[in-house]
Structure 1
């Protein structure tokens, strides 16, 4: 069993968050993949953050975190937005609809 922080770009803070989300090892992280890992992070209470999302993708590909650019980054942004929307939909107790009705708009 290998620590998550042994993966390039993933340090102790990300390791702690992933552990809290039920992903204890680098092997478990690789097995579930970046999207499922991020989905679990959101469910465990982590605040959505696009950079953390694409860093996770780059890390699992063995690439530098800042290697994500252009069309690839735009595609990942679309995937990130969909994951966040899915998460908010699962946890929506009507507040988003109420806020939209009173004119504050939907949160991102």
Structure 2
């Protein structure tokens, strides 16, 4: 018996063609792969692939993987997701202390960007 073909990313409610294209650039090509990775690992891959960071896109993904509408995210849950998003963004942009990125290395020797 042949195994079923992977489902397109757009089979997940809330993921349209543009978002699916971004995840494909990040090496995530199926709904099954995205679900298996989970929202945080998938969105971090999204960022590392050079896709732009968008908080709404991140929490919409979290909601979609839970089978909830994007606008169901509110209050303390949304605040907690914002903290996770900011940490991911910092890691992928080399702003987290100890990050192996070039900016962290330049900061270490005192020649990084002036903030």
TM-score by length of 1: 0.86
Equivalent position of 1:38 in the other structure: 43
1:59 to 2:68 alignment: no
Q: Max radius of gyration: which structure?
A: 2
Q: Which moved more, 1:85-94 or 1:14-23?
A: 85-94
After the TM superposition, which parts of structure 1 deviate over 2 Å for at least 4 consecutive aligned residues?
90-100
1:6 to 2:39 alignment: no
TM-score by length of 2: 0.81
RMSD, aligned α-carbons? 1.6
Equivalent position of 1:93 in the other structure: 102
Q: Give, in whole Å, the separation in 2 of the partners of 1:67 and 1:94.
A: 37
Equivalent position of 1:25 in the other structure: 30
- Report which structure shows greater RCO (CA 8 Å, sep ≥6): 1
Would you say how many aligned residue pairs link Structure 1 and Structure 2? Answer: 101
Which is richer in helix? 1
